[in-house]
Amino acid sequence: MSFDDKALQRLEFLYGSEQKRDLLNRLKKLVGKHNLRLRDTPSSRISFSQEDAVLITYGDVILPENGQKNKLQTLKEFVEKRLGDAVNTVHILPFFPSSSDQGFSVIDYLKVREDLGDWEDIESLSEKYNVMADLVINHTSRFSDWFENYQMGKAPGKDYFIEVDPSTDLSNVTRPRSSPLLTTVKTNRGMQYVWTTFSDDQIDLNFINPDVLIEFVDIFLFYLSKGINLIRLDAIAYLWKEIGTNSIHLEETHQVIKLFRDIVDHIDPDITLITETNVPFDENINYFGDGDEAHMIYQFSLPPLLLHAILTENGQYLTQWAQELPEPREGCTYFNFTASHDGIGVRPLEGLVPDEEFDYLIKSTKERGGFVSYKKNEDNSQSPYELNITYYDAFAEPGRKDTQFQVKRYLCSQIIMLSLQGVPGVYFHNFTATKNYLDGVTETGEKRAINRKQWGEEELEEHLSQTNDITHYILTRYKELLQIRKQHSAFSPAAKQEVLDLGNDFFVLHRSSDEENILCISNITHEHKSLARELLSSFIAEADTYTNILTGDQLTIKNELKLEPFKTVWLAI
């Protein structure tokens, strides 16, 4: 099907037959405006590979010590010097002028924050690495030109937001926060109530107005013209609102994503769309569509499930979940991660673990110096939404620092993540084993600041220069793991994955490509454990000795495989 036919189909569904051709013409003019070209038929996409790995970071995660370089230059220098080709993609979290939420309340979508740098810095980074950027599409800052125009009744913006009579019954709207859904604002027509899903500074946009969609197509194409080749659709699940519904996952939202996918497929098939939908797994998986929506979806269930499995030393629920993962459609894959700029979401655990196990994670987080954030339910009650703690300290032994078990637990979690089918995303603070940043919570009043430390450049280099420092050790080992993974086609996202249930003490994967087979076995307990050879007989040959590619060591398996506490082996079989 041609691009025009696909786009007309989407636009008619969203806005009706009378507007569809005019909207298509406006869209195509924007493509030319940004010196891009639409192919009539899509080109074939180059598949994801085991060489793909993403660094997730803020642009100001490292503060330069002198005025000779800006923050983006400092970040680029660190990535090139300290990570090299261990990653091939850098996700810079919102680097635009913003008024709150650490960048996710965008004032101007077309500018780089002055204290970070400029578009030349983004383009410079894109010469060596793929760059992922956020399209913060659900809402904008109340200090944006659009919203200020709305308040004055001027275009563009006067019809870009959602006004609601406060007497309207909105009780069935799905809420990710406990803040009010409607916010009062002054306008030239008096006080109005506008829709605010996340905060009173983040005003939701009205996509029922096609001009809003056209604005975001323009922004999207501008990003592509600047060398950005992975676009993260932020909070996309809440995009389309309709009174009387829960206003999440509506079909109109899926059609908007499909339209962006059509644009990508016909401009450059190697551009990647990734949807950020922090919801239960059965809802999240729908954002693959029929292979015509997101190329990648976040594995939001993985961080809490993995944390639970290792802390409780019980892999039952992690194994059950992994066994039920559907095979991604061709050209699509999972985005595996354990930490991000947000907390560890626990909504994705719904239906995956019993309530008492869920409660254990809440208690565990508090014992380790973390916090819990809550959301508001339909009945006005509150329930946990996310755990606020660094992933490294989530494995701590309460009251003790950098113990042997903490380090082993943490590395076990990261190696399991790297073993799974998909593309790994590693948050900056996972590379540096950053501890709970309680000063940030005190300074900002934001629980999420606990996992958003800004390193001083000299401070970080001092840690990395000491071989006995935990930051040096974890970064060095993490790079080794990524380099090992890159060398094995069995870890390609296209390679097969079979999850084995060999008891609750273990998490076991069989990864296989045409060239090789690797058995990934993790002991997730604090005790030495053994697996009887007969349990592995379907996978290992008659030989007694196998290579653990994580270390290069030869392992002898005669009657059993012995594993140390929290030890993982990748056996070439």
What integer pLDDT is reported at residue 423 of this predicted model? Answer: 98
Q: Which listed residue (60, 101, 134, 234) is catalytic?
A: 234
Helices 17-33 and 251-267, packing angle to 10 deg: 40
Q: Which domains does the chain have, with CATH numbers?
A: 139-204 (3.90.400.10), 496-572 (2.60.40.1180)
Please report, to the nearest 10 degrees, the dihedral formed by the alpha carbons of residues 146, 150, 151, 154 taken in order. 100
What integer pLDDT is reported at residue 184 of this predicted model? Answer: 98
Q: Identify the three-state secondary structure at position 344.
A: strand
Give me the sign of the Cα torsion angle 224, 226, 232, 236.
Answer: negative
pLDDT in tens, the chain (573 residues): 899 999 999 999 999 999 999 999 999 999 999 999 999 888 777 789 999 999 999 999 999 987 779 999 999 999 999 999 999 999 999 999 999 999 999 999 999 999 999 999 999 999 999 999 999 999 999 999 999 999 999 999 999 999 999 999 999 999 888 899 999 999 999 999 999 999 999 999 999 999 999 999 999 999 999 999 999 999 999 999 999 999 999 999 999 999 999 999 999 988 999 999 999 889 999 999 999 999 999 999 999 999 999 999 999 999 999 999 999 988 999 999 999 999 999 989 989 999 899 899 999 999 999 999 998 777 878 889 999 999 999 999 999 999 999 999 999 999 999 999 999 999 999 999 999 999 999 999 999 999 999 999 999 999 999 999 999 999 999 999 999 999 999 999 999 999 999 999 999 999 999 999 999 999 999 999 999 999 998 888 777 899 999 999 999 898 999 999 999 999 999
What integer pLDDT is reported at residue 85 of this predicted model? Answer: 98
Task: State the Cα–Cα distance between residues 3 and 266, nearest whole angstrom.
Answer: 7
Measured in Å, how far apart are the chain's first and last C-alpha atoms?
44
Task: State the Cα–Cα distance between residues 279 and 482, nearest whole angstrom.
Answer: 28
Task: State the Cα–Cα distance between residues 158 and 138, nearest whole angstrom.
Answer: 17
Q: Identify the three-state secondary structure at position 171.
A: coil
Q: What's the order of all strands across the beta sheet hosting 371-376?
A: 344-345, 382-388, 371-376
Over its C-alpha atoms, the chain yields an Rg (Å, rounded) of 24
Inter-CA distances, 558 with 5, 486, 533, 540, 569, Å? 62, 30, 7, 11, 16
Task: State the Cα–Cα distance between residues 415 and 168, nearest whole angstrom.
Answer: 49
What integer pLDDT is reported at residue 528 of this predicted model? Answer: 98
Whether the CB-CB separation of 519 and 536 falls below 8 Å is answered with yes
| Joined tokens for residue 23 | 């909207």
DSSP strand pairing (545-548 vs 553-556):
antiparallel
To the query of whether residue 234 is one of the catalytic residues in this protein, the response is: yes
Task: State the Cα–Cα distance between residues 191 and 165, nearest whole angstrom.
Answer: 11
Report the predicted TM-score, pTM, of the whole model to 2 decimal places: 0.97
